[in-house]
Amino acid sequence: MKLSNMTKFWISFVLAIPMLIQMLLMPFHFMFPGHNEIALVTTTLIMGLAAFPYWRSAWQAFKKHAANMNTLIALGTSAAYFYSIFAMLTHRPVYFESAAFVTVFVLLGDAMEEKMNHNASQALSALLKLQAKSAQVSRAGHFITVPVAEVKPGDLIRVRPGEKVPVDGIIVSGSTDLDESLVTGESMPVHKQSKDHVIGATLNTTGTFTFKATQVGADTLLAQIVDFVKQAQASHAPIQNLTDQLSHIFVPIVIMIAIITFVIWYSILAAPLVKSLLFAISVMVIACPCALGLATPTALMVGTAKSAKMGVLIKNGEALQKASQITTLVFDKTGTITKGEPAVTDIIGKPEVLQVAASLETASEHPLAQAIVRRAGSLQLSPVTDFKAVAGKGVTGQLNGKDAAIGSTKLLTEDLPIELKQEADTLQQAAKTVLYVSLNQKIIGLIALQDTPKNNAKAVMSTLAKRGFKTIMLTGDNPAVATQIAQQVGISEVLAGVLPTDKSAKIAALQAKGEKVAFVGDGINDAPALSTADIGIAMGSGTDIAIESGDIVLMQDDLAGVVKALALANKTFNRIKLNLFWALIYNTLGIPIAAGLFVSLGFVLSPELAGLAMAFSSISVLLSSLALNRMKPAPLA
Amino acid sequence: MMMLSQWLVLIIGLLLIAFTAWWFFGKRHSVSQVADRVGSEQIGRITVAGGYSPETLVFKRGIPATIKFDLRDSTACLSEVSFSQLGIKEKLNRQAQTEISIPTDKVAEFNFACGMNMFHGKVIVK
């Protein structure tokens, strides 16, 4: 039979309509002529089409000493159906509609579940479909359009405005702004120029550029993300262990409760046979543990896919659960809290200091030099002649015919004016690197540089503190520099001078004190610390993911991602707990009601209603999981 | 005063409860099967019908291994199989068998289950 559950549902539903009309007319004492015969025929068709697969599956399971939701459905529907045939032959009231409607509702639940599961898993493969279909590849000097599958590493590819970058690579010529939101979650376009990495499936906005393909096919970043998330979706969360254990014994216990229900009603309370039977059937139908089984995997599936779209990759259910229990966050300093490269912090002296320094440094590739040039920005620079780099000291050259130099004290030939000396001392005490600038044999000023905190570091730390997290900075740098940075961003605790090999020991010490520790690092140098921590959060560079090292991988080199990741993990895990709670409540409340415990209060659950409630419980859990798609990153406080 | 039929139902009910407990909870060894060797590969076949047969599949270490799932069941849950330790979640197909390769580089046990985690099976590499 190749009918989908949805088709089967509609056919069964149409077949059940006469019984529905009959049920509605019943209070008016109107009976269709031959209504029992009609019910027999339509119900038999429904059983054959829709209920039989459950019976067969239940029988196969029974032979293996196993019981599952199909067992309950099969027992409930077959009991109602065969009792009704017996009742019809012996001229008693029939209950075909119970068998028919339970089947219809169970099918509805199954069909909806298939559809929603499909939707949830679709979200992920939709990512892959966003790749470009073709690429303009240079072949024999001409750019020709080829399918993206034919692109090989090393190919030169041209991308024009409005086109998608087909594969991962490095820009060879041209510059542009790329919309990388699809892959990294970064909403602002990112400027790219020669030697920058580009990511496949990102959107080119303004310029035309040519790049060399480095990764294609399954090696591209997008393919790796999809793979990573797929694994997360198939994973288990430790909280599931409870339901796993429960699922082994749940169904047989429900069968026993149903038998007890029947026996008590019939033998002890002397209820009619059919009434006792209907209570027992209701118990089996409502106790279907579908919602319990769906609670965790569906939330995990939606939560991890949604997080991935926001640039937060969560490795598995265990990482998700642990991330929701974190108390302390330990940050690596260089490159995590700070930019990882020096920037000019102070310029002291004559107005032309920066112009002179930048003019000299344009030709140098030293990181300090580049920082000065960056700071100069659009300043008009003078041409330099006679440029000389003095290793370990600085650079010298001629600017408009005058001698100019920039460098450390070792480069100086003349004495330092006393006021500059004082300034330099203060700056050095603040753990800054000081460079002296001289023009015409005279020191005109100094420039101080430091590895500065990322722009939003302070906001991130205060947000984390407000949410009750303890923040600690861990670094191999000297205490003076570390304390300086910690003060700037608002971290209270500093562990400085820690050798790379001792970082994981420091984390273990925190754990010994009962803290649940997350370590945030760049994922390249910090592998031991990342794996020792309860949760390792690896900050990505945006071009390759440190998949192996982190439990959570941030696609963007942005500290705000830490706040986002913790919030997303928390929301998803809370949703799992909520789902499990609902699913358990359904059963713990549903079973006694179905068993007729509250009959005296007027609460009666017919098998049809039990079937509807069962379908509704699965659907509500699914909807609750799908609602995770609406998660939004909370703003920084 | 209970009638005969009520006594009968009570006794049969208790017997049924005892049977349910014995049938489902009684100690039983699960059926395990060693995978077939085909050339340089090992191929294990699992029939999916109201559960997995065999429930436990044994592979030899170091030889590439594949499981072929043959879906003979049309209920929603069994139409998906997931190996959570391996990060695999696959839709099964009634028309064609679904192949899943199992890493055999080291001794290991991998549990697998249906979409709702109601049916369980195990793969042993030794």
Q: Per the domain annotation, does A95 fall within a domain?
A: no
The helix or strand, by DSSP H or E, that contains position A439, with its residue range, turns out to be strand A433-439
Asked if A543 contacts A525 with a C-beta cutoff of 8 angstroms, the reply is no
A425 is catalytic: no
Domains: count for chain A: 2
Q: Per the domain annotation, does A402 fall within a domain?
A: yes
DSSP A307-350: HHHTTEEE--HHHHHHHTT--EEEEEIIIIIEEEEEEEEEEEES
Q: Per the domain annotation, does A227 fall within a domain?
A: no
CA angle A27, A46, A105 (to 5 degrees): 65
ipTM over 0.85: no
User: Is 90 exceeded by the pLDDT of residue A529?
Assistant: no
User: Is 60 exceeded by the pLDDT of residue A507?
Assistant: yes
How far apart CA A433 and CA A481 sit, in angstroms, is 11
**Residue A422 domain boundaries:** 339-452
CB-nearest partner of B76 from A5, A59, A268:
A5
Look at residues A636, A261, A269 and name the one whose alpha carbon lies nearest to residue A462: A636
Indicate the residue type of B70: D
How far apart CA A535 and CA A551 sit, in angstroms, is 6
Q: Give B36's contacts (C-beta < 8 A, 6+ positions apart).
A: B42, B43, B44, B45
What integer is the mean pLDDT of B68-88?
83
Indicate the residue type of A214: T
pLDDT tier, A2 (very low <50, low <70, confident <90, very high otherwise): low
- Name the domain boundary from A434, A452, A470: A452
Helix-then-strand count for chain A, H and E: 20, 22
From B111's Cα to the closest Cα of chain A, the distance in A is: 11
* Catalytically annotated residue among A110, A155, A332, A526: A332
- Which of B75, B95, B111 is the best mutation test for A, with the most CBs of A within 10 A? B75
Q: Per the domain annotation, does A124 fall within a domain?
A: no
Helical H segments across A526-559, by residue range: 527-532
Mean pLDDT for chain A overall: 85
Q: What is the pLDDT of residue A478?
A: 78
How far apart CA B56 and CA B44 sit, in angstroms, is 10
Q: What is the pLDDT of residue A427?
A: 85
Domains in chain B with CATH codes: 32-125 (2.60.40.420)
Tokens representing A609? 């209603």
How far apart CA A438 and CA A434 sit, in angstroms, is 13
Q: Per the domain annotation, does A388 fall within a domain?
A: yes
pLDDT tens for A168-183 read: 999 999 989 988 877 7
pLDDT tens for A331-370 read: 988 788 888 778 888 888 888 888 888 888 887 777 788 8
pLDDT tens for A100-143 read: 988 998 888 888 877 777 776 666 666 667 778 889 999 888 89
Q: How many Cβ contacts (< 8 angstroms) between chains A and B?
A: 127
User: Is 70 exceeded by the pLDDT of residue A544?
Assistant: no
Q: Per the domain annotation, does A329 fall within a domain?
A: no
Residues of B in contact with A240 (CB under 8 A): 117
Q: Per the domain annotation, does A399 fall within a domain?
A: yes
From A262's Cα to the closest Cα of chain B, the distance in A is: 8
From A382's Cα to the closest Cα of chain B, the distance in A is: 60
How far apart CA A299 and CA A426 sit, in angstroms, is 55
User: Is 80 exceeded by the pLDDT of residue B74?
Assistant: no
Q: Is A204 left (phi over 0), alpha (psi -120 to 50) or beta?
A: beta
What integer is the mean pLDDT of A82-93?
89
What integer is the mean pLDDT of A272-295?
86
Under DSSP, is residue A70 helix (H, G, I), strand (E, B) or coil? helix
- Name the domain boundary from A452, A477, A506: A452
From B112's Cα to the closest Cα of chain A, the distance in A is: 11
CB-nearest partner of A262 from B2, B13, B50:
B13
- Name the domain boundary from A408, A437, A452: A452
Q: What is the pLDDT of residue A463?
A: 93
CA A356 to chain centre: 49
Q: What is the pLDDT of residue A126?
A: 67
How far apart CA A51 and CA A76 sit, in angstroms, is 10
Residues of A in contact with B121 (CB under 8 A): none
Integer distance in angstroms from the first to the last C-alpha of chain B?
Answer: 63
Is the CB of B32 inside 8 Å of chain A's CB atoms?
A: no
Min mean pLDDT across A44-48, A225-229, A283-287, B29-33 is at B29-33
How far apart CA A92 and CA A107 sit, in angstroms, is 29
- Residue environment code for A236-264, b if the CB has 16+ CB neighbours within 10 A, otherwise e: bbebbeebbeebeebbbbbbbbbbbbbbb
Look at residues A336, A358, A326 and name the one whose alpha carbon lies nearest to residue A475: A336
Domain CATH code at residue A409 = 3.40.1110.10
Higher local confidence (pLDDT), A587 or A79: A79
Q: What is the pLDDT of residue B1?
A: 62
From A302's Cα to the closest Cα of chain B, the distance in A is: 14
A544 to A196, A547, A554: CA distances (angstroms): 13, 9, 10
Do A56 and B117 make contact, defined as CB atoms within 8 angstroms? no
Domain CATH code at residue A159 = 2.70.150.10
Do B117 and A67 make contact, defined as CB atoms within 8 angstroms? no
Tokens representing B80? 């998906």
Tokens representing A151? 């692109």
Nearest-Cα residue of chain A relative to residue B24: A65
pLDDT tens for B2-18 read: 788 889 999 999 999 99
Look at residues A539, A128, A526 and name the one whose alpha carbon lies nearest to residue A313: A539
Residues of A in contact with B84 (CB under 8 A): 234-236
- Which of B117, B120, B122 is the best mutation test for A, with the most CBs of A within 10 A? B117
User: Is 80 exceeded by the pLDDT of residue A471?
Assistant: yes
DSSP A247-297: HHHHHHHHHHHHHHHHHIIIIIS---HHHHHHHHHHHHHHT-THHHHHHHH
- Which of A250, A257, A267, A283 is the best mutation test for B, with the most CBs of B within 10 A? A267
Residues of B in contact with A297 (CB under 8 A): 82, 115-117
How far apart CA A300 and CA B47 sit, in angstroms, is 28
Higher local confidence (pLDDT), A548 or A208: A208
Residues of B in contact with A236 (CB under 8 A): 84
Q: Per the domain annotation, does A440 fall within a domain?
A: yes
pLDDT tens for A240-249 read: 777 777 777 8
Is the CB of B111 inside 8 Å of chain A's CB atoms?
A: no
Residues of B in contact with A65 (CB under 8 A): 23-24, 26, 28
